[in-house]
Amino acid sequence: MSRQPETIDLLLRRRSQLACKLVPPGPSEEELKTILACGARVPDHKGLVPWRIQIADRTNQDTLHAKLPELHEGDPASLEKTLTKEPKTAPLLLIVSSHTPSTKAPRSEQILSGAAVCQNIIIAASALGYRSQWLTEWFAYNDKVKTYLGIPVGEDIIGFLYIGTESEVPKERPRPNLEDIVSELSLSPQ
């Protein structure tokens, strides 16, 4: 088996970049096709393809973000936080949602397959030299936002994936020590 040290290096150095710090250029049409093809190559129990991806250019992002105050429900602080932060815009936004009508595989596995789509997309974007940020926030859980985006209310928005070029080197965040999160399983025979 051949080793792919560049893949390991990519995984070890990948970092998110705040959406508001992502600038043009974004992926070309050909690069986007590659990113989407990588996104679709995920574990998918029973081959159900339980996810959908919407592509939003900058104009559609601006339209969506301008509409958010009208669509907001609930805690006013969450809307205020959204409005006072720097705008969440990038050259490209991919909206990944979960379409889980089948009972052939557990719903949780279908949603996790969609999460794997998100992970593959951000890794593929990184491999092509772009940065990204995977967000949800309140608008991922808002039925009015789902309806506005044409996503059925019973489905889940798994992520808003903002992709573009970094305007500055993203800050590294603390990573967990493996000793704190990994343990050896030791079962006693019965």
Q: Tell me the percentage of the chain whose pLDDT exceeds 90.
A: 63
Write down the pTM of the prediction: 0.90
Counting Cβ atoms within 10 Å, is residue 189 exposed (0-12), middle (13-18) or buried (19+)? exposed
The residue ranges of every structural domain in the chain are 25-68+84-169
Whether residue 87 has pLDDT greater than 70:
no
Q: How many CA atoms lie within 13 A of 97 on its CB side?
A: 23
| Closest to 67 measured CA to CA, from 144, 120, 127, 159 | 144
CATH of domain 25-68+84-169: 3.40.109.10
Provide the pLDDT for residue 95.
Answer: 98
Distances (CA, A) of 63 to 56, 87, 90, 102, 161: 10, 12, 13, 33, 16
> What is the band of 84 on the pLDDT scale with cuts at 50, 70, 90?
low
Q: Express each pLDDT in 137-161 by its tens digit.
A: 888 999 999 999 999 999 999 999 9
Q: Express each pLDDT in 24-77 by its tens digit.
A: 999 999 999 999 999 999 989 898 899 999 999 999 998 998 898 889 887 777
